[in-house]
Amino acid sequence: MANDILVLADHLKGQLSDTTLELVGKAKELAGATGGQAVVALLGAPDLAGQITGADAVLTVDHPALADYTPEAWEKALHHIVNERQPRLVLIGNSTIGMDLGAGLSATWDAPLVAYTVGLEADGADIVATAQVYGGKLLAEVALSGERGICTVVAGSFPAAAGGGSPAAEAIAPPAGLDDLKTAFLTLVEPEGGDVDITAAEILVSVGRGIGSQDNLDEVQELADALGAPLSASRPVTDAGWLPKTRQVGKSGLKVKPKVYLTFGISGAPEHLEGMRDSELIIACNTDANAPIFDVAHYGTTLDLFDLVPAMTDTLG
Amino acid sequence: MRIVVPVKQTPDLVEELELNDDGTDVDREFLKFVLSEWDDQALEEALLVKEATGAEVVAVGFGDPDVELSLSTALAKGADRAVNLTGLGDGWVSSHTRAEALAGWLSGQDVDLVLAGVQAVDDLDGQLPPLLAATLGWPHVGVVIAVEGKDNTIQVSQEFGGGRAARLEVKLPAVIGVQAARQPPRYASITRIRQAQQAGGIEEAAVTASGAGAGITVRRLFEPEKAGHAEMLTGSPEDVAGRILDLIRSKGVIK
Ligand SMILES: Cc1cc2nc3c(=O)[nH]c(=O)nc-3n(C[C@H](O)[C@H](O)[C@H](O)COP(=O)(O)OP(=O)(O)OC[C@H]3O[C@@H](n4cnc5c(N)ncnc54)[C@H](O)[C@@H]3O)c2cc1C
Ligand SMILES: Nc1ncnc2c1ncn2[C@@H]1O[C@H](COP(=O)(O)O)[C@@H](O)[C@H]1O
């Protein structure tokens, strides 16, 4: 009810996202402070309820239109639950689903929203969120002072709920309007397999927009060959078609955890960090000493990549 | 079909971000503003839809710093019209306020499709496209990497983690948040941008918003703690190259 913390379960193709349980853990902690419950809203996949641990309650809404995600159907169902329960705070992972639904719910439920949340505390009657802005170069401390609020939360911000049982699920009747939608799901397309599997590599040489052009890739390729490492990349490099999509590391690419992750000209936007921050040894080259990549890298240098790369290749001989 | 592409200017992140005196916003006076990268993608996708269907493309700015250059560039690339909406004031304007103002302007136009950028680097209170869609009562899809239009419906590809994408069909009018166009954004030559600037084709319209705003209070902005900051390697390229190779060798992945 008015003191509850409600988490939207994020799932695709029968798989619950890791973020869901991270949010449940945080919801449980905040609910302790607000005197409410940690409640999970599970849309379209009631059989996943058993995987949700550590919450006080699970509410399910089932309807054929919710089985495969569309923003329109999920927004209607989420709004229905939220409107009925009137929680203090709604937590949604900042996935594709969260990017769709957070702001939409903010408008329809008339509640303030903090996007890119990485920290959350109760402060008296306020909820205080810390959020990333400017590609992670700054953090903002934001107060949600009213009776309701929404946060979309960056993956990996909180530890997962510490286990515990899964509460019995309570089914909620679907809202009207799910039979008459303007958005229809057609198919889910799986990515094509790549020439190399970057998730299996022990060392990756990763290039970003700082490389400037496709021609300049040759120099880095030479170094990567000398190291026996495949090239991986940030999103702008694969969007530009300079490397195949299968080489992309990050939120919408692949998650990698090599022994060594060596970057050239990558700024370290939150969406990139999500895919590589668990690498064993991260070494970053970026001419901007304030680039956020240096906050996760173990070693860094502000040398120009066009000076460092040939020097490394020469040294390897 | 008429497509509106709202274009936004955001601080160039290569520059140092200084804070204002009370620490609640960046100091905008000396910042360089550039077109938000996702808007470049949205414009490209709009131009591709135009080429396939003959749609009209209207680029719309909000009086942001240097937005005239981005609007002229849009015209040079093939947008049919450019409109600058004024009256929202300077400084950080919340997505809620911008969505309200844009919704007001759009309702007086005959628009089928809004192709916006999926996000911008200065979002704090959420992304404009879903807010705009909810205000207008139109369907919305974000993180889109392809838009194909025909008559009153479009098909879009919506991207999920790991490179998976869902194909969705959406009835128009609709709002789409574009993550990437089907091909890298085209370039406009300086000459063509100059020509567009000289032709003076940017229309202006005044907009208003109630000022209800986002309902959040920014207490302060601050730099992330440097606790986990990298150990910086300095010296000549040869010195640093040697140090890095030693580090890599210590992990046993090369000889
Ligand atoms: C929904 C969504 C999903 C996303 N998914 C991903 C994802 O999976 N993966 C991903 O990477 N991004 C993703 N992004 C994009 C992300 O937000 C950033 O835009 C992107 O990571 C930036 O890439 P970059 O660091 O290569 O480029 P930039 O941020 O432009 O950084 C380039 C860097 O190169 C440095 N540089 C320039 N020249 C040199 C030189 N000569 N020597 C050394 N350094 C130099 C600059 O200082 C700068 O820091 C996603 C965004 C969204 C909205
Ligand atoms: N100030 C603005 N001027 C024009 N378009 C904007 C503005 N703010 C947001 N938009 C549009 O909304 C998209 C998402 O931006 P944001 O709301 O900041 O996430 C942008 O990519 C633009 O298409």
Tell me the per-residue pLDDT of A139-181, one tens digit each, with 9 for 90 and over.
999 999 889 999 999 998 999 987 778 888 999 999 999 999 9
CB A107 to CB B99 under 8 A? yes
Percent of chain A with pLDDT over 70: 100
Q: Is A287 in the pocket of ligand 1 (CB under 6 A)?
A: yes
Q: What is the 8-class DSSP label of residue B26?
A: B
Cβ-Cβ contacts under 8 Å, A184 against chain B: 168-170
Percent of chain A with pLDDT over 90: 90
Cβ-Cβ contacts under 8 Å, B131 against chain A: 103-104, 106-107
Q: In degrees to the nearest 10, what's the CA dihedral of A138, A141, A147, A148?
A: 20
Percent of chain B with pLDDT over 90: 75
Q: Encode A207-234: b = buried (16+ Cβ within 10 Å), e = exposed.
A: bbbbbeeeebbebbbebbebbebbbbbb
Return the number of other C-beta atoms located less than 10 Å from residue B104's C-beta.
15
The predicted structure's pLDDT at residue A317:
83
The predicted structure's pLDDT at residue B212:
75
Percent of chain B with pLDDT over 70: 99
Ramachandran angles phi, psi of A51, nearest 5° = -85, -10
**Mean pLDDT throughout B96-111?**
93
Nearest-angstrom CA–CA distance, A210 and A206: 11
For chain B, what is the mean pLDDT?
93
Beta-strand pair B217-222/B33-35: unpaired
Going by C-beta distance under 8 Å and a sequence separation of 6 or more, which residues neighbour residue B194? Answer: none
Within 157-196 of A, beta carbons closer than 8 Å to B belong to: 181-191
Confidence of residue A1 (pLDDT cuts 50, 70, 90): low
In angstroms, what is the C-alpha Rg of chain B?
A: 21
C-beta of residue A97 within 8 angstroms of C-beta of residue A69: yes
The predicted structure's pLDDT at residue B157:
98
The predicted structure's pLDDT at residue B230:
93
C-beta of residue A261 within 8 angstroms of C-beta of residue A283: yes
Confidence of residue B163 (pLDDT cuts 50, 70, 90): confident
Of B17, B183, B215, the CB nearest to A146: B215
CB B121 to CB A144 under 8 A? no
* Residue of the CA atom closest to atom 47 of ligand 1: A288
Cβ-Cβ contacts under 8 Å, B41 against chain A: 239
State both tokens at A146: 């009213």
The predicted structure's pLDDT at residue B226:
63
Report pTM: 0.92
* Residue in B212, B189, B195 with CA at minimum distance from that of residue B135: B212
**Mean pLDDT throughout A180-199?**
91
Return the number of other C-beta atoms located less than 10 Å from residue B215's C-beta.
18
State both tokens at A249: 């590391």
* Residue in A295, A306, A298 with CA at minimum distance from that of residue A272: A295
The predicted structure's pLDDT at residue B231:
95
